[in-house]
Structures are given as C-alpha cells and as structure tokens.
Amino acid sequence: MVIRVTVWNEFRHEKLNSKVAEIYPQGMHEAIAAYLRRDPDLRVSTATLDEPEHGLTEQRINETDVLLWWAHIAHDEVREEIVERVYRRVLAGMGLIVLHSGHFSRIFKKLMGTSCDLKWREANDREILWVTRPGHPIVQGIDDHFILAGEEMYGEFFDIPEPQETILISSFSGGEVFRSGCTFTRGAGRIFYFRPGHETYPTYHDPNVLRIIHNAVHWAAPMTPPKPVAFGKREAGWLD
Amino acid sequence: MVIRVTVWNEFRHEKLNSKVAEIYPQGMHEAIAAYLRRDPDLRVSTATLDEPEHGLTEQRINETDVLLWWAHIAHDEVREEIVERVYRRVLAGMGLIVLHSGHFSRIFKKLMGTSCDLKWREANDREILWVTRPGHPIVQGIDDHFILAGEEMYGEFFDIPEPQETILISSFSGGEVFRSGCTFTRGAGRIFYFRPGHETYPTYHDPNVLRIIHNAVHWAAPMTPPKPVAFGKREAGWLD
Amino acid sequence: MVIRVTVWNEFRHEKLNSKVAEIYPQGMHEAIAAYLRRDPDLRVSTATLDEPEHGLTEQRINETDVLLWWAHIAHDEVREEIVERVYRRVLAGMGLIVLHSGHFSRIFKKLMGTSCDLKWREANDREILWVTRPGHPIVQGIDDHFILAGEEMYGEFFDIPEPQETILISSFSGGEVFRSGCTFTRGAGRIFYFRPGHETYPTYHDPNVLRIIHNAVHWAAPMTPPKPVAFGKREAGWLD
Amino acid sequence: MVIRVTVWNEFRHEKLNSKVAEIYPQGMHEAIAAYLRRDPDLRVSTATLDEPEHGLTEQRINETDVLLWWAHIAHDEVREEIVERVYRRVLAGMGLIVLHSGHFSRIFKKLMGTSCDLKWREANDREILWVTRPGHPIVQGIDDHFILAGEEMYGEFFDIPEPQETILISSFSGGEVFRSGCTFTRGAGRIFYFRPGHETYPTYHDPNVLRIIHNAVHWAAPMTPPKPVAFGKREAGWLD
C-alpha cells in the first residue's frame, strides 16, 4: 500500500536567517521530503505555514496517512480550526511525527495533555543518541548509538506523559540527558516525537536522523486509511 | 500531613430531577464529602458549578491537594479560565479524581489528549467490577470483585491513552466491558478515573465505591504541596 | 521480506480426546498453519512436543522469525534447555504468540516474571471480545467486537505485568472479564498473548480469531533477522 | 503502620577489599540500615549471603514488607529455593528495592523476564542523575538533578522491560546514559531498581542517594501485609 506523507514546516527561519538558508536552501521540509521520495512506497508532499489554511485543507488532511511537523517561532499563528482538523485525523488513525521544537506546537500539547516544557541551551553541544529499545522498527539499521557533532541542548524534565516506548535517550556536552525518541498512541493514531533538528545545524542531512524519520513514517502509517471509530448509544446488549 | 480535598459537582440533576434529589438530598458532592470527613487526615470542602468562579477561585485551587470532579449535562458551561487553572494545578502536583460522566469534562479531555468517547446505555444494567491490580493502594480492602445491582452501561472502546495502570474492569448485563478504574500521570499530578456513579442510582452510597474513592484520595495526594517544576534556559552545563 | 513462522503445539489432546480430534483432525497447529499458508509472504512450518527436541532444534529456532505456542497438559515436559533456547531467541528479536492455555507455559512465565495465574471454568460460556485499541495492526479488519458462541471462561485477576497495550477485553456469560489480547516487549522481541482457543471448541476455525493470529504474525515479525545486542565492558567514553 | 524492612547484602567485597572495608566498615547493608533506622515508622533488620538460608528464612521473609538487595560477585551462590521464596513473596505484595549490581541477581532477572544486561566501565566517571518524574514519591525532596563525583559507569541498552515509570536518568563523563531509577509491578508487589552504589565509592553515604532509598521504602511498602490472591476454578458465574 502506498503511504501518503505530508511534511509540514513553519518555513520562517529559512527566510529570515541566511545561515539557515545556506543549510536548507529549499527549506527543512524539502530536505526531509527529498530523502523520503527515494522510497517508491511513499507519496510525499509538503505544506507550510504561510500557504492558505497552512497548506492543510480538509482534503489534504483527509489524503494524508502520516504527517510530519516542524515549527518553532510561530506556534501561535497556527489557527485553532487547523489544529482541530489535524487532531481529529490523528485520533482516526493518521500517524504524526513531531520534530524538535515542534514539542511546543499546539497540536503536540493538545495530544499530550501536558505543558511539553523542557530545559534548553544553544551552545553547540555535542549530542550522543543512545538506542534504548533495540529491535524497534523505528531504529532498524541504527547502531547502538550515534553522534551529532553540534546541536541545541534539550534537557529533562521533559513534561510529557510516560511514553509508551522510550526508544532513544540523548546526552549532551553539558551532562544533560533527554528522552529523544518517544512513542505515544492517541485514539487510533500513532505519534513519534524525535528531538534533533535545530535549524542552524545540518541535522536533517545526517544519515542516521533521516533513516530514523524514514523508519518512523512506516511505523506510524495506518494499515487502512483512518476512519471514525464506533461510539455512542448502544441500544441492545446481549440479554436485551 | 493533612490532605486538603475539594469535591466538585455540577449539582444540576439534583435540582431538576426528583428521583435524583431523593437519592442525594444534599447533592452527590455532599454524599461523597460526608464519607471522606470521617477521616481525620482529610480536610474536606465542596464546590459547585453555579457558585462564583464555579467555587474554584485561585485561592481555593491553590489550597486543594486533591480535587474530585463529577459533571454531566453542563460541561460547556465550565469557563475556559477555570479549566486552565485546574490544569496548571494538576501539572504542578494536585491529584485529580474524575468520576463517571466526568469523562467528557473539559479538564479530563484536556489532560488525556483524546476524545474520551465511549458507548453507553441507560437500562438498569447490573455492573460487576473486577480488580485487575490486586495490592494497588486504590483497591485496598476491596475483594476480587464487587457488584452494583443497577447502573448505566459504559462500553469499550473508551478513547483514552493507554492507562498507566488498569485497576478495575467492569462487565455489564449486556455483555459489554469497560476499563472502570484507570490511573494516569500528567506533569507532577496523579489522575484516577473511576467509572460508576450515574445520578439515578445510589452508587455513592455503596461501601465499595466509597472505599475506592477514599483510597484514591490518599493515593493521588502529593507528598508536599504542588509547586512549579524547573524548566527553561540552562546557561551552564558541566563543561561550560 | 519472507517471514518464517513456526506453529508449535503440544499435540496431545488431539490424540487423547475424540471430540478434539474431530474438530482438529490434523491437530490445532495444522488448522492454524493451513490458514497462514494462504499468505505468500509467510513460510510456515509446524513443530510438536513429541518430536526430537520438541521439534525446536537450534537450527529450527534460528530460522524462525515468529513462533506460535499452544500447550496445556504437558508444560512440565518441555525441557529446560529448549525453554532457554526459545527465550534467548525472543530477547534477540524473534516474535512470540502465546495462545490460550499457553499462559501457563514455562516460556511465557519466564518472560513475564509473574505466576500468569487466572480464574477459569469449563461451562460453554459465550465469549464477547471487545476491541480496546482500534487502529492497532493486530485488529485490522476486526469490527468493534466479535462473539464466540462457546468457550472456556478465563477471568481476572490475570497475573501478568501491566501490558504494553491491551488490545482486546473479553466478557463471559458468567459476568467475568479478561484481558484477552495483550502485547509485551522483552529484549528486542515482541510478544502477543491471545486468549481464545480451548481444545474442545472450533475456535481456530473462527475467521476473526484466525485474522487476529495472522495480523499478529506480521506485527511480531522482526524487520531484520534477530541478532545479539551490544552489551559488556565499554573501554572508552567520549572524554577518555 | 510500621514497615518491616530487611536490607540484604552479599557482604563479600567488604571482607575482601580493604578499600571497600574502609568506606563501609560494617558493610553496605549497615550503612543503609543505620540511615533507615532514624525513621521510627520502620523496623529495620539486615541479612547477608553467608548466614544460614542467606538470612532469609521462611519466617524472616514472611515478616518482611520491603526487601533491599545488593549483590555483585556471588549471584550464583544464592540458592534457587531462596530465590523462589523471595519471588512468591513479591508477587503476594512485598516491596523489592534492587540496588546497583543487583541488576544481575537471580531474583531481579526472574521478575523482569529479560537478561538485565548493560554496558559498564570502572573509570571514576562523574554521574549526574536527572529527575524525569518530578512529584513522584520516590524523588520527594530531591532537586531537579544531583551529582555523584565518582561512580562506575552503566550504559544503555539496559535490557529491562519498558518500566512502568522512569524516574531518574543518568549521564556519565563518557557521554553514556542510563535509566537509573525505574519502577515495575509484579503481581501485587512493587519493585524499584536504583542504579548507583559501586562498592569502591562512598555512594551509600550520599544524602540524595539515602533519601531516595528511604522514599522508595515507603513507596514500595504494601498497605496491608502481603497475602495470596484469588485464582483457580470458579464454579458459578452470575448466570449459572
């Protein structure tokens, strides 16, 4: 079955900061999408904040099996009705992959039920990501750890509910730690949070990071298209 | 340490339906509060929807360690700012016990991140509640099961995230099942959802139901008063 | 990738009890294997207790990606070294599907770390299985519930660790409930426990039961063949 | 209610290694027990490997509410029947706190169902322990992190089942990470694994480490003495 993937990006830093534009000339979404398009089982498109309806029309969402979400400085500009639209689709079975600073997006906070707050520092920390669930589909092909030479630091406490599975834990030069790869289920939808990806580093060109995102797309995809679940009044039970 | 408990009730059915008023002349909140007041380690008060600020002023919430929540027909009348106030207090460590139709309250849906929908039927079903985590503090003193002669039916799928612990599962006359006792953690706060308690049945006079609510108050109480958790920018790491 | 499946069965009841033999002339393992063989992506074989090494030689286990296990009256006859062999292979990534009375098998108890005890009754109970995690790959194609006209009753408390996911909950004519579909991870291996399947009922001819077993085989299969995980002394850290 | 605590220690290193004896002249068990004895709600005793029945007679175990376990070089000398005795008591509700190299003890591996293997290095690493579940009873009074100046390194992958709660995560000088505080439930018993405590460091004199152990004793204690759970044949259901 073909998996329909939409890579959503705020797409602001790339226009405002020449350093970011140099690393991602087409935007971070295109760096990720280009990698995913090499897989013939994926049909990949992109969407960004400043498109009409943020590029996430009712039809577009209804034709998306897995949505990726990167955002940072404009969480408040995402309209409530679009958040609601994405939310309902996740509960019906769409996969959602939330990247890096997307931890503070409306959609992620709404699905977690917590503040999603954390500690942070921009100081070119070295990040080591350790695999804490070998054999999980999301870390197929990944060694027992890998290293990013420079990244923003995120530190615990990360205010999320206890994850269903903690797949990756990072350490940073400063001695901090962070649960960097976490899975959750909401309704029929699977969610993966993946930490790395600060805009001023070439993280989305790193082969391990791209491999994990690719694996996660396959893991999060519903087996059949998302559809409503049975709820409501039940007239007759067995003995009625 | 004394635990400060606030029993919150919508308190509408009791005024509108004489059958309910007969069972709970002072309201369901007073039936529960009266039982809890027998414990000298608890300082118990009540609050209801139609009081100013729904009886949940900033001061009242700040002086509550465990909040109980019963509501049904007026979820939409609970003001957003009060929901937000309760929410922030839960993340800071306040315990929350959500009763029966409180599953559809704004505060519970906000904390779960799901629709919290379910199947239901009002047909005087017999409910059997089975203990699925013996030894848990919430079911201390409860046998391996207990029976409620008549109750509203709630049936699966109950759209909640996978609970941290599933402590009780019910069956109904119609053959339906339901996860009736579930725990969750959000931020520093502990949450217990407890199913029984339809307003037209004397459920909150049942000794097993009251015992479980009493146990849950002790389980959900923070050891020290709720307080903010450390987040934000971290200037210096170990090696800086 | 082809998934190599081994269906293991105690295969004693079928020889001892003409009623069982009538329902499963070739044994329960062959009923299940015949269904799975319709899927060209599976390479299906069987093994039984009374074969040399219980049919589970080192080579056979090393060439198995997903193992199914049905047993009842001869758990104690399974040799410790074979249990150990299966155990090590599960930790390395082999999927394991434990059926019905396999709850008391040595391998399941060893992987759970609990007694795996439960309540039971043979009285031709009607069993209703309710889906409690719609969208999960294991219940693809299954409605919100399905019914088995006659089965042995299993009741809570089922002494297992809190499952990673509770996918199905059953009710029985007697009003009992049971967590009938549960997932676990041990090492790199995925485990699914699936309750129905008493030998005197035609349960493994039921299309819903077979569909769930089929789905579970795909869910439990490792993406690459099981292999050892990195452990042991680590000489040099980053800063050494 | 008084909690009856038994601190069990292998007690070999202290006799074989003068450096260890200098840090713990009475043994590690006595260092921990001395701290716990300051709490009048605890009745604390100790037991060691070389006592008859390892100091864990049937009576002693039956009079223990919470057992602490430190061991390292003599796991294989612990007799199977004693392991079985402790195991049954845990399932019946006794709390168990497993310390440091106790990860490889027979009792811990039996309860986990996994290899409990890990990476390690003895090189005087600095360990920083970060709180990942603020508000949990086990970390009451602990800041958002604390530091041990020198410790043995333990690194992921730590082969345990997904913990019920991950309360502490460590980083080490070498950049490794480890889930250092993890909770599990087995039967009616609560289990806490706590990483620090290599014998050549004064870890059990550290106030944060001792506070966490003290908190964990209260958390793991059953509310009523452990007792058997109802299992077995159930003759009559509701409709029989």
Q: Which residues of B touch D165 (CB under 8 A)?
A: 164, 185
* Domain that includes residue B41, residue range: 3-114+182-220
**Average pLDDT in the A55-66 region?**
98
Contact between A47 and A6 (Cβ < 8 Å): yes
Look up residue B138 and give its amino acid: I
Alpha-carbon distance values, C211 to C44, C70, C203 (Å)? 16, 17, 12
As a whole number, the mean pLDDT across chain A is: 95
Is B13 inside any structural domain? yes
The beta-strand segments (E) located in A86-174 are 95-99, 119-131, 145-155, 165-172
Q: For chain B, what is the domain count?
A: 1
In a domain, C213, yes or no: yes
Across the interface, whether the CB atoms of A132 and D170 are under 8 A apart is answered no
pLDDT tens per residue across span B77-112: 999 999 999 999 999 999 999 999 999 999 999 999
- The list of chain B residues with pLDDT below 70 reads 238-240
**Touching chains, D (3+ CB pairs < 8 A):** A, B, C
Give the H/E segment covering residue B80. Answer: helix B80-92
Whole-model pTM: value is: 0.97
Specify the pLDDT at position B153.
Answer: 97
- Given a contact cutoff of 8 angstroms between Cβ atoms, the answer to whether D107 and D143 are in contact is no
Neighbours of chain C (3+ CB pairs under 8 A): A, B, D
Handedness of CA D180, D182, D186, D188 (dihedral sign): positive
Find the mean pLDDT for residues A11-26.
Answer: 97
In a domain, D128, yes or no: no
> Under an 8 A CB cutoff, do A169 and D175 touch?
no
Look at C169 and B177 and tell me if their CB atoms are within 8 Å. Answer: yes
Domain membership flag for residue C74: yes
The answer to the question of residue C77 being in a domain is yes
The verdict on a CB contact (< 8 Å) between A165 and C185 is yes
Element (H, E) at A35: helix A28-36
- What ipTM, to 2 d.p.? 0.95
The pLDDT score that the predictor gives to residue B240 is 42
Q: How confident is residue C238, by pLDDT bands cut at 50, 70 and 90?
A: low
With contact defined as beta carbons under 8 Å apart, do B213 and B44 qualify? no
User: Using the 8-state DSSP alphabet, how is residue B184 labeled?
Assistant: E
Which chains have 3 or more CB–CB distances shorter than 8 Å to chain A?
B, C, D
- Inform me whether the pLDDT recorded for A236 exceeds 80: no
Copy the structure tokens of residue C33. Answer: 């294997």
B→A interface, C-beta within 8 Å: 91, 110-115, 117-121, 123, 125, 153, 155, 157, 159, 161-162, 164, 172-176, 184-187, 229-240
Minimal-distance CA residue of chain D relative to A182? D162
Within a domain: C173:
no
Burial of residue A110 (number of CB atoms within 10 Å: 0-12, 13-18, 19+): buried
What pLDDT score does A238 carry?
Answer: 61
Q: Which of D151, D235, D239 to probe the C interface (max C CBs under 10 A)?
A: D239
Q: What is the mean pLDDT of residues C88-111?
A: 98
Residues of chain D found within 8 Å of residue B93, distances taken between Cβ atoms:
135
Cβ-defined contact of C144 to A230 (cutoff 8 Å): yes
3-state percent helix, strand, coil for chain C, nearest multiple of 5: 30, 30, 40
Res. A52: pLDDT tops 70: yes
Q: Is residue B240 part of a domain?
A: no
Contact between chains at C132 and B179 (C-beta distance less than 8 A): yes
In this structure, which amino acid lies at residue A159?
D
Nearest to C186 among D114, D119, D173 (CB): D114
Choose among B120, B173, B174: nearest Cβ to A233. Answer: B120
User: Tens digit of pLDDT for each residue in C152-167?
Assistant: 999 999 999 999 999 9
Nearest to B189 among D93, D135, D165 (CB): D135
CB C190 within 8 A of CB C161: no
Nearest CA in chain D to B183: D164
- B85 three-state secondary structure: helix
**What is residue D240's predicted lDDT score, i.e. its pLDDT?**
42
The single residue listed with the structure tokens 């201390």 is B140
Question: Residue A135: inside a domain, yes or no?
Answer: no
- Supply the CATH number for residue D47's domain: 3.40.50.880
Taking CB atoms and an 8 Å cutoff, what residues of chain B touch C144?
A: 156-157
pLDDT, tens digit (0-9, with 9 covering 90-100), for B177-207: 999 999 999 999 999 999 999 999 999 999 9
Q: What residues of B are in contact with residue A117 (Cβ under 8 Å)?
A: 229, 231-232
B166 vs C contacts (CB less than 8 Å): 162, 166, 179
Residue A61 above 50 pLDDT?
A: yes
pLDDT in tens, chain D (240 residues): 799 999 999 999 999 999 999 999 999 999 999 999 999 999 999 999 999 999 999 999 999 999 999 999 999 999 999 999 999 999 999 999 999 999 999 999 999 999 999 999 999 999 999 999 999 999 999 999 999 999 999 999 999 999 999 999 999 999 999 999 999 999 999 999 999 999 999 999 999 999 999 999 999 999 887 777 788 888 777 644
Distance, CA of D182 to CA of D200 (rounded, Å): 23
Can you give the pLDDT at residue B238?
62
pLDDT tens string A107-142: 999 999 999 999 999 999 999 999 999 999 999 999
Q: Are A135 and C230 within 8 A, CB to CB?
A: no
Percentage of the residues of chain A whose pLDDT score is greater than 70: 99
Chain A residue with CA closest to B232: the answer is A119
Q: What is the pLDDT of residue A240?
A: 41
Distance CA D85, CA D95 (A): 14
How far is B196 from chain D, CA to nearest CA, in Å? 19
Compute CA distances B86 → A105, B34, D55, D201, whole Å: 21, 23, 50, 45
CB contact under 8 A, D132 and A179: yes
Helices (H), chain D: 13-16, 18-23, 28-36, 58-62, 80-92, 106-112, 207-220
Strand, coil or helix: B59: helix
Task: Quick: pLDDT tens for A164-191.
Answer: 999 999 999 999 999 999 999 999 999 9
Residues of A in contact with C141 (CB under 8 A): 224
* Inter-residue contact A223 to C140 (CB < 8 Å): yes
Distance CA C166, CA C168 (A): 6
Chain D residues with CB inside 8 Å of B236's CB? none
| Distance, CA of C78 to CA of D188 (rounded, Å) | 28
As given in the structure block, the two tokens for residue B218 are: 């002790």
